[in-house]
């Protein structure tokens, strides 16, 4: 598109074009000029030497010129106000292009008027041949298409803006015709379904990702006034099928596209509900786990109270057993039975004592202790439970282990939880291995707790330390144990990690520094237990 300058007219501003007379009328049949004058386009017939042979009335009126000012003049002088040929002036010469191609050309010509206005002409230049096929003249028709060009430019801007809006929308947007063929498939829909727009647009159909029975039902709803405004579909929950076969829950909002009262297609907005449903489920699970944790906290308090109450009659049994033992001195048979009563009563008191110690908060109560004795103490609290009756316990403690400095109550909570989880994973039957070594270079204890259960799926291993996350069935676990255990280990300056070897089972490795200095201001880790 070339930019041209219109020639200013300083002659005949009010002059009406004269009629063709004399020799000018003898060159062509009398009705040719009348025909040309009746056309609304500007017409110019140019000789091979670029002189103007004929123009029509519209040409003269638009240029505000008379015949004598036009005929016989060079075309580029009259048409564009140039003093030299178009090509010499750096412009296209349509006549020469037609002569070279021997075929008509059509183009849009941009013109800048002296008033600073930009206008556009649609120009067609055609060759006129004689009977021998030689070009004898050129016919140029021109019409002003400025309004159309500007309208098209505005329409293009609106279209680009609309396309940008559609493509930048997070939700998926699909436009289909009345037969279900896809006309628009935005980037949001590409992300949602895994299909590219090209895959869908190249002969793709709505049925590739949208169940057609559901589509027909939704169209029925849109045509009815029983489900909202006619032609509209209120947000509706459904599923679509991704390219990989995944069924994706979405919310659909749709509308019928109607032009002049006739349905031309429909547009749908697809909102991905996976994240919303995931968060909703997490909130529901968290609520359930909170309720469960409150119950467990109450049971913990109750257990501590019961333990105190049991201690009283146990103390009484122990006192009277000792008195009875003194009174039966010399009776070996009875003394043996009485001693068994005393031993079993002391064992019960030891279990109750350990239960009381476990139920207390122990934040900040650090001490140094033997690791092997500590682990045995944790095991003794669990080993007599029914869930451990068919579990074989293997222990390996490196010789000459230094003493561990830390909060015994907190760490007892960590390992007791790991033992219970291992028993649950093995369903009460298997092998529990416990080992402890010391890395002198890093001054770290390495304590491993390994079971022979089924292991933990890889996708769940990163989640097991999250608060309220549990792999146990509803009502079987709170999802608090491992998260609290991890926090306790971190408070001691250590770390806990999990691995599942290919042969099966789960291994928890706890690294703890030899020396521990608790940071101030930490809150109690074991929730729901009051200091006893």
Contact (CB, 8 A) for 350 and 390: no
83 and 135 co-located in one domain = yes
12 and 130 co-located in one domain = yes
CATH of the domain at 210: 3.30.450.20
Q: Which of 17-26, 149-158, 183-192, 463-472 has the highest mean pLDDT?
A: 183-192
- Between 142 and 471, the more confident residue is 142
Distance of CA 440 to CAs 38, 401, 405, 493, 518, Å?
108, 10, 15, 16, 22
225 and 250 co-located in one domain = yes
Taking the C-alpha atoms of residue 253 and residue 268, their distance in angstroms, rounded to an integer, is 6
Detail the DSSP E strand segments found in 418-474.
429-439, 444-451
Domain around 209: 169-272
282 and 292 co-located in one domain = yes
Taking the C-alpha atoms of residue 469 and residue 286, their distance in angstroms, rounded to an integer, is 8
Banded model confidence at residue 451, pLDDT cuts 50, 70, 90: very high
Model pTM score: 0.39
**161, part of any domain:** no
pLDDT number for residue 79 = 81
**113, part of any domain:** yes
**131, part of any domain:** yes
**164, part of any domain:** no
Q: What is the pLDDT of residues 468-508, one digit of tens each?
A: 556 555 444 444 567 778 888 888 889 988 898 888 889 99
Domain count, the chain: 4
Q: Minimum mean pLDDT among 92-96, 191-195, 232-236, 328-332: which range?
A: 328-332
252 and 287 co-located in one domain = no
436 and 453 co-located in one domain = yes
pLDDT at position 528 over 50: no
Banded model confidence at residue 138, pLDDT cuts 50, 70, 90: very high
**8, part of any domain:** yes
**422, part of any domain:** yes
What is the arrangement of strands in the sheet containing 182-185, beginning at the earlier edge strand?
Answer: 182-185, 172-177, 262-272, 247-259, 232-241
406 and 354 co-located in one domain = no
Q: What is the pLDDT of residues 259-285, one digit of tens each?
A: 888 888 888 889 888 888 888 888 887
Banded model confidence at residue 448, pLDDT cuts 50, 70, 90: very high
Q: What are phi and psi of 240, to 5 degrees?
A: -125, 165
379 and 487 co-located in one domain = yes
């Amino acid at each position: 598109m070339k930019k041209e300058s219109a020639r200013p007219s300083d002659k005949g501003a009010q002059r009406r074009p004269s009629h063709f007379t004399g020799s000018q009328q003898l060159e062509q049949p009398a009705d040719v000029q009348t025909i040309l004058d009746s056309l609304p386009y500007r017409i110019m017939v140019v000789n091979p030497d670029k002189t103007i042979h004929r123009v029509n009335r519209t040409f003269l009126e638009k240029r505000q010129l008379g015949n004598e000012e036009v005929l016989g003049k060079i075309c580029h002088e009259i048409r564009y106000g140039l003093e030299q040929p178009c090509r010499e002036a750096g412009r296209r010469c349509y006549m020469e292009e037609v002569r070279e191609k021997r075929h008509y050309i059509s183009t849009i010509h941009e013109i800048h008027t002296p008033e600073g206005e930009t206008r556009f002409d649609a120009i067609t230049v055609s060759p006129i041949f004689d009977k021998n096929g030689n070009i004898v003249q050129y016919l140029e028709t021109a019409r002003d298409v400025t309004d159309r060009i500007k309208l098209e430019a505005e329409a293009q801007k609106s279209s680009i803006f609309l396309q940008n809006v559609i493509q930048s929308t997070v939700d998926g947007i699909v436009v289909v015709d009345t037969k279900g063929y896809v006309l628009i498939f935005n980037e949001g829909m590409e992300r949602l379904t895994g299909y590219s727009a090209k895959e869908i647009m190249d002969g793709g159909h709505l049925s590739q990702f949208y169940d057609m029975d559901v589509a027909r039902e939704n169209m029925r709803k849109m045509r009815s006034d029983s489900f909202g405004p006619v032609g509209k579909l209120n947000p509706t929950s459904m599923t679509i099928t991704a390219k990989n076969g995944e069924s994706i829950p979405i919310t659909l909002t749709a509308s019928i596209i109607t032009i002049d009262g006739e349905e031309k297609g429909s547009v749908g907005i697809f909102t991905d509900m996976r994240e919303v449903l995931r968060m909703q489920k997490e909130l529901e699970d968290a609520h359930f786990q909170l309720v469960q944790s409150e119950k467990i906290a109450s049971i913990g308090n109750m257990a501590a109270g019961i333990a105190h109450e049991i201690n009283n009659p146990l103390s009484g049994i122990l006192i009277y057993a000792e008195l009875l033992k003194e009174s039966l001195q010399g009776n070996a048979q009875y003394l043996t039975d009485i001693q068994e009563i005393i031993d079993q009563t002391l064992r019960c008191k030891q279990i109750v004592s350990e239960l009381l110690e476990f139920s207390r908060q122990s934040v900040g109560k650090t001490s140094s202790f033997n690791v092997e004795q500590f682990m045995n103490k944790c095991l003794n609290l669990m080993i007599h439970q029914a869930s451990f009756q068919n579990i074989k316990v293997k222990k390996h403690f490196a010789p000459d282990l230094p003493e561990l400095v830390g909060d015994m109550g907190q760490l007892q909570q960590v390992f007791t939880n790991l033992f219970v989880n291992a028993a649950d994973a093995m369903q009460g039957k298997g092998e529990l291995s416990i080992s402890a070594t010391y890395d002198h270079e890093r001054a770290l204890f390495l304590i491993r707790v390994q079971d022979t259960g089924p292991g933990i799926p890889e996708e769940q291993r990163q989640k097991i330390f999250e608060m309220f996350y549990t792999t146990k069935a509803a009502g079987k676990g709170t999802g608090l144990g491992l998260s609290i255990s991890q926090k306790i280990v971190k408070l001691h300056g250590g770390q806990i990690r999990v691995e599942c070897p290919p042969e099966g089972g789960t291994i928890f490795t706890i690294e703890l520094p030899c020396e521990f200095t608790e940071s101030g201001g930490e809150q109690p880790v074991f929730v729901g237990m009051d200091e006893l």
